[in-house]
């Protein structure tokens, strides 16, 4: 199974997407969301476009918050005088459900924008899935990030 590119993943009829959808449902990434995967992807993509979000730039910022935040070993660290970040790292890996042979280290990033008070919580796997597949997870997934919330957090 090869990984799907962003463009491919948006193609509603790709049979590989059906296999990935099964994997995602199996792993609870679509918890509480009855929409088919292609619809979830399309709806979030539409929101991303509406908001003019550049997911490469945004996930670069998320990655940087992780890298800076992990220096606190779980204690909050202030980054760029704007973001308070606490990174909780655990031993082990989480295998990407996108069947792309990616394994994300287990880490949860809790961050607060000190200027707006908005909070953002993400895992390194969420970051991978958003960056590579524009996949923000199903509505009831514990690590679902609403594109609008993500956009507002960084603006």
Partner 1 sequence: MTQVIVPALSIAGLATALALLILIAERYLMDYGEVELTINDDRKHRVKGGSTLLNTLKSESIFIPSACGGRATCAYCKVKAVRGFGEVLPTEEPLLTKEEITNNIRLSCQLKVKNDVAIEIPEELFSIREFKARVEAISDLTYDIKLFSFRLNEPEFIDFKPGQYIQFQAPEYGDIDESVYRAYSMCNVPEDKRTVELMVRLVPEGICTTYMFQYLSVGDAVTLTGPFGDFYLRKGDRRMICMAGGSGMAPLRSILKAMKPEQIARRRPIFFFGARSKRDLFMVDEWSAFEREHPDFKFVPALSSPEEGDDWNGETGFIPGLVEKYVDNVAEGEGYLCGSPGMLNACVEVLTKHGIPEERIYYDKFE
Q: Contact 124/140 with Cβ under 8 angstroms?
A: no
Minimum distance from CB of 51 to partner 1 (Å)?
Answer: 26
Residue number with CB closer to partner 1 (109 or 150): 109
User: DSSP H helical segments within the chain, as ranges?
Assistant: 6-9, 15-26, 37-51, 55-69, 124-133, 147-153
Minimum distance from CB of 20 to partner 1 (Å)?
Answer: 12
Cα 143 from Cα 60, distance rounded (Å) = 18
Locate tokens 């990984």: which residue? 3
Minimum distance from CB of 87 to partner 1 (Å)?
Answer: 7
Question: Quick one: which of 67, 70, 68, 58 has its CA closest to 136?
Answer: 58
Minimum distance from CB of 13 to partner 1 (Å)?
Answer: 3
Encoded tokens for 51? 């908001």
Residue number with CB closer to partner 1 (131 or 151): 131
Please measure the distance between the N-terminal and C-terminal CA atoms of the chain and give it in whole angstroms.
Answer: 37
Residue number with CB closer to partner 1 (53 or 98): 98
Residue number with CB closer to partner 1 (42 or 151): 42
Locate tokens 């514990």: which residue? 142
Residue number with CB closer to partner 1 (12 or 116): 12
**Binding region for partner 1 (CB under 8 A):** 2, 12-15, 18-19, 26-28, 31, 70-75, 87-93, 95-96, 99, 101-103, 105-108, 142-143
Minimum distance from CB of 54 to partner 1 (Å)?
Answer: 28
């Amino acid at each position: 199974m090869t990984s799907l590119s962003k463009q491919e993943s948006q193609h509603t009829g790709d049979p590989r997407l059906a296999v990935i959808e099964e994997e995602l449902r199996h792993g609870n990434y679509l918890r509480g969301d009855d929409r088919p995967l292609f619809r979830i992807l399309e709806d979030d993509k539409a929101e991303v476009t509406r908001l003019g979000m550049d997911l490469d730039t945004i996930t670069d910022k998320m990655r940087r918050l992780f890298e800076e935040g992990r220096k606190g070993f779980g204690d909050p660290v202030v980054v760029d005088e704007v973001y308070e970040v606490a990174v909780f790292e655990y031993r082990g890996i989480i295998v990407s459900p996108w069947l792309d042979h990616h394994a994300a280290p287990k880490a949860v990033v809790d961050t607060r924008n000190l200027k707006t008070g908005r909070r953002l919580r993400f895992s390194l796997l969420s970051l991978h899935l958003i960056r590579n597949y524009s996949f923000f997870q199903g509505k009831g997934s514990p690590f679902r990030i609403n594109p609008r919330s993500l956009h507002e957090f960084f603006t």
